[in-house]
Amino acid sequence: MLGCGNSKLSEQMYDAGYHNIVNIDISESVIEQMSTATSSKGKKMEWLVMDGCDLKFPDASFDVVLDKGTLDAVICGKDLTISNKML
């Protein structure tokens, strides 16, 4: 999840069965906050402080990359679901 911020999308995706999630954001405080919040609920995701314009992953590290801000801009509606769960 590129630029995850404090969005609940990663947690909702985790609840829908997607457990191999890597979240990145440039804000160290947001990453700390979200890592603490999700790990206290037993949700094991990776949370990394990183600049989306300077990613430090090898090529082909991911099957899918989501940008929450772009999703918000493209999908404007109240009926968005992931695996039958309302967001």
pLDDT tens-place string over residues 6-62: 999 999 999 999 999 999 999 999 999 999 999 999 999 999 999 989 999 999 999
Domains of the chain, residue spans: 9-54+64-86
Q: Strand pairing of 46-49 and 81-82? A: unpaired
**Cβ partners under 8 Å of residue 30, min gap 6:** 4, 5, 6
* pTM for this prediction: 0.79
More confident residue, 38 or 87: 38
